Amino acid sequence: MAYKKFLVDNPSCSRRFHLSYDDESEPVTETSAKCPFCDEVIFKAKNHPEVTVARQENLIKKAELADLLMENCSFKDNFSISPKK
């Protein structure tokens, strides 16, 4: 069992996602990984081993981006108190 890791960066929300999969496992019909904050699809593939989000972090240096990029982010702040009218 050998785990492979690859990176996907989202410059619009400054997040870096570490995705991993077992390269010796059987490919599934379709696999995808979603952002844990906004449920946008980070990675999607057919006939690929199951992919999981191993880690996420703040994207610090936008000059050194990963090969895979995504641009969508639909995060909504549900934690802050809304202002009274």
pLDDT tens, position by position, 54-78: 999 998 888 889 999 998 888 887 7
CB 38 within 8 A of CB 74: yes
- As to burial, measured by CB atoms within 10 angstroms (0-12 exposed, 13-18 middle, 19+ buried), residue 15 is buried
To the question of pTM greater than 0.85 for the whole model, the response is: no
Q: What is the band of 22 on the pLDDT scale with cuts at 50, 70, 90?
A: very high
Pairing of strands 3-10, 68-69: parallel
* pLDDT at 1 > cutoff 70: no
Quick one: pLDDT at residue 66?
A: 92
> Is pLDDT of 45 > 80?
yes
* Mean pLDDT score of the chain: 90
